[in-house]
């Protein structure tokens, strides 16, 4: 404890951070926030015009699922960030949202299934939650069982494999800290801590995770016009043309953008993409945004594919003929699953294009990073 105080004082002296001490509970870390909150609320005003302008084809503007009563504010999203990384939200103080949704992995988990607080495994692959704000129908989880993001964010807390808490217990724990009542007051006007406010703040933080600074994005000028050929390599450009039709060039598209739509390559509803022959429940899953996809292996709801080339090979010749298969993946003439018959050169190009969707600024953006530090002998969860 002595050592920790010294370290805290030392870092106060050398950095402009406000430190909020979180002594007491071993292993939860010390919260470190900037004295003025980061900008989350008006972040969409900095999005490039093509990204949100309703006049640009494929813009995400019309897909925003933000509810009128939970607009993003700087203090609300800041509180959400703290909650997202706080181990107090799990019964044994080891698990937090960011443990399964890792920023450097596009907020996904490199493990096929994630380990929960007692070591048990989740039944699905942790989703990359980037651009959740622009999933048009506003439903969440791979099978869309959560009707809203506000509803979804409370579920992992109460899931017995993931964090194993009850909401009243979480409220009690947060009330016992010195800093949460202040953070709730800044975000919502009074220091009251409620499950509803926890849900709103977490949802604001997740909605603020918008990726728009990849190499692909840099092809658009300030008028929203794309200059793909000038920005992408010849191989990446070929991959783009295989992914989606490009005006002015012969159409060689293999139809990916029919489902992974819009400027953030996100779907609009759950679809069956032919992973399995037997899908008694319909086998429909959310069509995720492909932003940062190269950092989000393994792939699909069950993490069955280890690499992007495995995914491309699947779409090339592996789509299964089940009764619920989306018509877009059927050959219009034969009704059978489409075979794309791509050459190795084309497959490599498609993978190269998918790599242009990586957004390094987003993956290292401090606004989305863990605000807890562990300067003491306590170790972060391995």
Tokens of 243: 């992914």
Q: How far is C-alpha 360 from the geometric centre of its chain's CA atoms? A: 14
CA dist 249 and 103 (Å) reads 36
| Contact window for ligand HEC (CB under 6 A) among 42-50, 70-78, 98-106, 219-227 | 98-106
Position 296 contacts ligand HEC (CB under 6 A): yes
Question: CA nearest 202: which of 77, 103, 96?
Answer: 77
Position 128 contacts ligand HEC (CB under 6 A): yes
Position 70 contacts ligand HEC (CB under 6 A): no
Position 311 contacts ligand HEC (CB under 6 A): yes
Q: Would you say 232 or 329 has its CB closer to ligand HEC?
A: 329
Position 118 contacts ligand HEC (CB under 6 A): no
- The contact pattern for ligand HEC, residues 251-290, with x = CB under 6 A and - = no contact, is ---xxx-xxx----------x-x-x---------xxxx-x
CA dist 73 and 203 (Å) reads 11
CA dist 177 and 168 (Å) reads 15
Burial of 141 (0-12, 13-18, 19+ CB in 10 A): middle
Q: Cβ distance 80 to 89 under 8 Å?
A: no
| Contact window for ligand HEC (CB under 6 A) among 4-12, 67-75, 249-257, 365-373 | 249-257
Q: Which of residues 141-160 bind ligand HEC (CB under 6 A)?
A: 141-142, 152-153, 156-157
Q: Would you say 54 or 250 has its CB closer to ligand HEC?
A: 250
Q: Cβ distance 129 to 209 under 8 Å?
A: yes
Q: Would you say 99 or 370 has its CB closer to ligand HEC?
A: 99
Question: CA nearest 300: which of 317, 276, 265?
Answer: 276
Least Å distance, CB 249 to ligand HEC, is 17
CA dist 76 and 201 (Å) reads 5
Question: CA nearest 291: which of 356, 348, 236, 345?
Answer: 356
Least Å distance, CB 36 to ligand HEC, is 25
Position 180 contacts ligand HEC (CB under 6 A): no
Position 347 contacts ligand HEC (CB under 6 A): no
Q: How far is C-alpha 226 from the geometric centre of its chain's CA atoms? A: 25
Query: Considering only residues 63, 72, 183, 206, which one is a binding residue for ligand HEC as defined by CB under 6 A?
Result: 206
Position 114 contacts ligand HEC (CB under 6 A): yes
| First-to-last C-alpha distance (Å) of the chain | 22
Q: Would you say 8 or 43 has its CB closer to ligand HEC?
A: 43
Query: Considering only residues 20, 60, 79, 127, which one is a binding residue for ligand HEC as defined by CB under 6 A?
Result: 127
| Contact window for ligand HEC (CB under 6 A) among 36-44, 182-190, 212-220, 311-319 | 311-319
CA dist 171 and 358 (Å) reads 37
Q: Which of residues 355-374 bind ligand HEC (CB under 6 A)?
A: none
């Amino acid at each position: 404890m002595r050592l920790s105080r010294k370290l805290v004082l030392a870092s106060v002296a050398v950095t402009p951070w406000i430190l909020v001490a979180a002594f007491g509970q071993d292993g939860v870390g010390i919260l470190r926030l900037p004295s003025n909150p980061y900008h989350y609320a008006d972040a969409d005003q900095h999005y490039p015009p093509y990204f949100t302008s309703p006049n640009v084809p494929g813009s995400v503007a019309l897909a925003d699922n933000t509810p009128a009563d939970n607009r993003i504010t700087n203090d609300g999203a800041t509180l959400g960030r703290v909650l997202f990384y706080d181990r107090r939200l799990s019964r044994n103080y080891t698990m937090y949202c960011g443990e399964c949704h890792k920023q450097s992995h596009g907020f996904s988990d490199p493990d096929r299934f994630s380990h929960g607080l007692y070591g048990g495994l989740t039944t699905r692959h942790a989703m990359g939650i980037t651009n959740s704000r622009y999933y048009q129908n506003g439903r969440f989880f791979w099978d869309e069982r959560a009707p809203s993001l506000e509803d979804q964010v409370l579920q992992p807390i109460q899931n017995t494999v993931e964090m194993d808490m009850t909401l009243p217990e979480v409220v009690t724990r947060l009330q016992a800290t010195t800093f949460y009542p202040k953070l709730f007051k800044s975000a919502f006007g009074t220091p009251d801590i409620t499950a509803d406010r926890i849900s709103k703040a977490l949802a604001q933080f997740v909605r603020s995770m918008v990726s728009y600074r990849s190499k692909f994005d840099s092809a658009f000028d300030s008028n929203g016009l794309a200059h793909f050929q000038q920005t992408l390599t010849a191989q990446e450009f070929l991959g783009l043309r295989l992914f989606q039709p490009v005006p002015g060039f012969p159409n060689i598209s293999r139809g990916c953008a029919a489902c992974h739509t819009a400027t953030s390559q996100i779907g609009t509803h759950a679809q069956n993409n032919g992973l399995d022959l037997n899908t008694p429940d319909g086998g429909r899953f959310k069509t995720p945004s492909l932003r940062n996809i190269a950092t989000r292996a393994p792939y699909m709801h069950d993490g069955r594919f280890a690499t992007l080339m495995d995914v491309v090979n699947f779409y090339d010749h592996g789509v299964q003929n089940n009764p619920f298969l989306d018509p877009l993946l059927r050959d219009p003439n034969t009704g059978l699953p489409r075979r794309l018959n791509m050459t190795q050169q084309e497959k490599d190009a498609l993978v190269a294009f998918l790599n242009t969707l990586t957004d390094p600024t987003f993956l290292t953006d401090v606004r989305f990073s863990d605000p807890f530090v562990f300067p003491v002998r306590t170790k972060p969860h391995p």
